[in-house]
Structure 1
């Protein structure tokens, strides 16, 4: 199972559905990051074959008001961070059926205090299709941070069917990403 399929499948399974957005702070014990989610989060860890190595991808997320809010992360060797992050983006774009051959989507470089300056660290918004061919809107942010002798890469994403998630909900999610 590809990383993108694993993450989308996990995201679909995560979380209790809630018609209202009930924002709460979520602390991640093993990760120096806290986030805000609009619903009670579920957690999953999957080992994913990645080239010649296995990556343990951890995910926390939930579904609220029809949208899926997730944060996925994995630890890699410093020399692998840019390649893994780029491949992760490519796999997700392919999974969400972005038109044409994969090209990096225009996006803004994303560098927060304490994160690594990598060309693959970015924020993008796009419209694609899910496995059933229905329109989905995604807003994703990828960033990386040194953690000891390794690098932890992150993907924070909101995936909404039919129409983009409300700007206020997206803003709450993004502002709730707090590096510690």
Structure 2
């Protein structure tokens, strides 16, 4: 993305989401072609995760601000045909982590397709209420999407967890800040 366009986008998002608790900034991922907006200084982590019969390296970036956790995780898949399964598995894992009492089934959600991403039925956005590890109410706003990168596919999860409904401006800033390079 040209520098001028990035500066205009950053300025617009900052003005739209001004809040003393939120200090929005552009974060460029070093290991994936994506920039995102976070309302605080990010922490980064990489870890290997057992995923079915394979081990995948998951990269994460995120922070906490205004009582909410903003995070983005991604994984590169050597087998592009695995993207739909990984998206579904990721949604199921979050469903279980947030202690939903209903049996797993894909929750109704809207398609989520950024320009340049794959149009998969599993690429979607969802919002729901669950419980965290301490049994406290948590609101989840999640987006899953995938993008071809040469012979592989990269799968992403963008997530905001908050103790109450998140301000629409903060969520919009986070989602609109997802910019593929």
TM-score, with length taken from structure 1: 0.87
Q: Residue 145 of structure 1: SS of its match in structure 2?
A: strand
Select 1:136's aligned residue among 106, 115, 138.
138
Alignment of 1:27-106 (within 5 A): 27-76=28-77, 77-106=79-108
Select 2:119's aligned residue among 101, 117, 120.
117
Tell me, which stretches of 5 or more residues in structure 1 are unaligned? 1-18
Deviation (angstroms), 1:107: 0.4
Tell me what 1:152 maps to: 154
Deviation (angstroms), 1:70: 0.2
Separation in 1 of the partners of 2:86 and 2:36?
23
Deviation (angstroms), 1:41: 0.3
After the TM superposition, list the runs of 4 or more consecutive aligned residues in structure 1 that deviate by more than 3 angstroms.
none
1:23 paired with 2:24, answer yes
Q: Residue 25 of structure 1: SS of its match in structure 2?
A: strand
Deviation (angstroms), 1:66: 0.6
1:166 paired with 2:167, answer yes
Tell me what 1:16 maps to: none
Separation in 2 of the partners of 1:170 and 1:126?
14
Q: Which has the larger radius of gyration?
A: 2
Could you list the per-position Cα deviations for residues 5-40 of structure 1 after superposition, in whole angstroms to 9, with x for gaps in the alignment? xxxxxxxxxxxxxx7100000011221110000000
Tell me, which stretches of 5 or more residues in structure 2 are unaligned? 1-19
